Amino acid sequence: MLCLVEIILYLTAGSLFLNISRQVRFARACDGAANGCRGAVAPLGDRLLGADESLPLNYLSTPYILTIKLAWIVSVKKTRWHRMTRKTAIITGAARGIGLATAKLFLAEGRKVAMVDRDGEELARATKGLKNTVPLVFDISDSAQVAQMAAEATAALGRVDALVNNAAVADFGPIETTGFARWRRVMETNLDGVFLCSQALTPALKASKGCIVNIASISGLRASTLRVAYGTSKAAVIHLTRQYAAELGEYGIRVNCVAPGPVRTKLAMAVHTPDIITAYHDAIPLNRYGSEGELAAVIGFLCSDSASYVTGQVIAADGGFESTGIGLPSLRQ
């Protein structure tokens, strides 16, 4: 719609300038004629052509120049809009939580979004009523499925401007009870999935000079109990982000990472006891959990042209949790 308005305005402005040009040529011709027409049209020539044959300053207030100004304003606003956002995105783990919140943010920005999740029923519920979405049911821990997902998503979107690697498995347990099967179940989604999706979509991102945002965790920045597999997988995602940023930067691809702290998701609220919630509040300088929308806003920034010179970075969106170290509650009372 914006492009159509811009075209109409420029065509109108062009037509007006052609009319002015004809009048100027006629005025010039009459200025040198001896048939007496100078007296009738000289004022027009004098208004349009000053002593230096240029338009006088007061001519800027005419409808002609106002039309040009309006066309210019529309063009500038269009440019600003394109700087603010890009056109498409692929989000894994998009059926719930941070992934779904990010998808809704992107849709509000005018993007077309491919929403990927292995839970087909939940994905169908999440995408019901959402326009400009491409629901894709795939398991991103499977290399063959990732290849098919990348092909279908690229074909449906036409181009890929952003990839958000959000899908993850949250499996916590003591080190002594974590066998290799449990370790691999976490790693194949949390780490292998990020690698597989990034590899499969790098050609499309090279073509668009797009970006990747990987979702790690505060558990990848600081150790904690019960997270030997989960925390290690997220620490690996953080370093993987920097590796990709270092190598893909020459193609104009930016790669960044968001490390969420405690977030008020349905799952977290279901498993966190009041004691756990209180302990987190005591340890977080902002004294609260984050929201899915707040995390989506950080992801949206990193996927926008406002972050055009940001790559290889890890942003801990955690209310200050990581910055406080151990953060003994007794020291804050």
Residue type at position 214: N
Residue 289 is among the residues annotated as catalytic for this protein: no
Spot the catalytic one: 10, 59, 64, 230.
230
Q: Which of helix, strand or coil describes residue 225? A: coil
Q: Which of helix, strand or coil describes residue 23? A: helix
CA distances to 87, 101, 124, 271 from 128, rounded to whole Å, are 21, 14, 6, 27
The CA distance from 221 to 322, in Å, is 7
The CA distance from 333 to 329, in Å, is 7
Instruction: Locate 194 and state its tokens.
Output: 């990020």
Residue type at position 172: F
- By the 10 Å C-beta count (0-12 exposed, 13-18 middle, 19+ buried), 32 is classed as exposed
Instruction: Locate 299 and state its tokens.
Output: 């992801």
**DSSP assignment string, 240-272:** HHHHHHHHHGGGT-EEEEEEE-SB--HHHHHH-
Q: How many CA atoms lie within 13 A of 16 on its CB side?
A: 13
The CA distance from 1 to 137, in Å, is 33
Q: Which of 98, 121, 77 is nearest to 290 (CA)?
A: 98
The CA distance from 151 to 116, in Å, is 13
In sequence order, the β-bridge partners of residue 263 are: 290
Q: How many CA atoms lie within 13 A of 40 on its CB side?
A: 9
- Cβ atoms of residues 175 and 228 within 8 Å: yes
Q: Which residues are catalytic?
A: 230
